[in-house]
Chains A and B, each alone.
Chain A
Amino acid sequence: MALGLGTAAVVLVALLWELSRPRLSHALAQRRLRSALRRLRAGQTGYDPGRERRAEQRARALLRTCIEEEDWAMYRDLGFLRVWGGAGDQARTDPPGADAEEAGAPYAYLIYPHRPIVAYLPQTGALLNEYCVAFPDHSKPYGSARLPDSDDVLAKWMALNADERRLIADANMHLPGRQIDPDRVRRDLLRLARWERERARHGSDSVRAA
């Protein structure tokens, strides 16, 4: 008798489990989904769309106080900065990666935000190398390791200015065209030349007017 009742109880429990399992699974899945949605909503509430813009404004203000007025105007108008090679040295050094016949010629760099630094010869417009360099902040204080654009430019400018050889040694060197289209760089060099001519003309006009 007891054995029969026990068997019936086990069978009943097994049947109930089989019947309720789909519902339990569904309820569990729903709960997981609700929890994920809650987490997503919380994340969205914490996101501040203006943060990156404000960070960039602060970065631009700092950059402006650190570089020459003309360099600032160049960056503001053209979106990149030109730095003469050997800026930190008293004597001009040979351009990195230049051929022997080019050695001794003055060289310069174009600094773009979050793009490689491009070395070139101003006299000929010949592109020398791309130097891929980044300043990743691994603490990711605001979820990203990337500095604001103008802070990236400032970091490159300070590093080139303070210790050009060290920065170049730390960078990954590539031939022109690896990451930045050489045609784009040539266009930028033409824009820079035009920009400098216009500034020179405005400067001479204002002197004449005075």
Chain B
Amino acid sequence: MKLLRLKPGHGEIVLAEGDVELPEQERELIEAFRRELDAGMWAAVPTETNGGRREAEFVRSFAEVPRDAERVIFFPRAAGGASRTAK
């Protein structure tokens, strides 16, 4: 499993990577996961339905992350914006 974060000026960066079946690596993943949530990030897991349709789901704790998830993507929390007129 990889924990990725979307970053301005960079694209995604890998925060942590490990096998959730190995306790030591799982602990590192959990710590990195908590750090991001504490920093105010949203966490989403890209998923696929049984029909093969790609979707995403929000997770609010590491326990909610499907064990077979390959990636968790963190990104800044949404804020209402009306920064410019772009006609």
Contacts and interface: CB of A to CB of B under 8 A. Distances in A.
Interface of A: 51-52, 54-59, 62, 65-68, 87-88, 115-116, 132-148, 151, 154-155, 157-159, 161-163, 166-167, 170-172, 174, 178-181, 184
Contacts, number: 138
Contacts of B3: none
A178 B53 CA distance: 33
Chain B interface residue number, banded: 20 to 34
A158 B80 contact: no
Contact of A162 (B10, B56, B82): B56
B79 A134 contact: yes
Given A68-B53, A158-B56, 16 more contacts: A51-B9, A57-B11, A62-B73, A67-B54, A132-B83, A133-B78, A134-B78, A135-B79, A136-B76, A137-B8, A141-B9, A154-B6, A154-B73, A158-B73, A162-B56, A180-B86
Q: Which residue among B4, B12, B78, B84 has the maximum number of chain A CB atoms within 10 Å of its CB?
A: B78
B23 interface: no
B55 A87 contact: yes
B12 A59 contact: yes
Contacts of A174: 82
A179 B8 contact: no
Contact of A148 (B8, B46, B55, B79): B8
Contact of B10 (A115, A141, A158, A161): A141
A162 B72 CA distance: 13
B8 A161 contact: no
A83 to B, nearest CB: 11
Interface in B1-27: 4, 6-12
5 contacts: A135-B77, A145-B8, A155-B6, A162-B57, A172-B82
B50 interface: no
A149 to B, nearest CB: 11
Interface in B29-87: 39, 42, 44, 46, 53-58, 73, 75-87
Nearest to A156: B78
Given A54-B11, A67-B54, A145-B8, A158 B85 contact: no
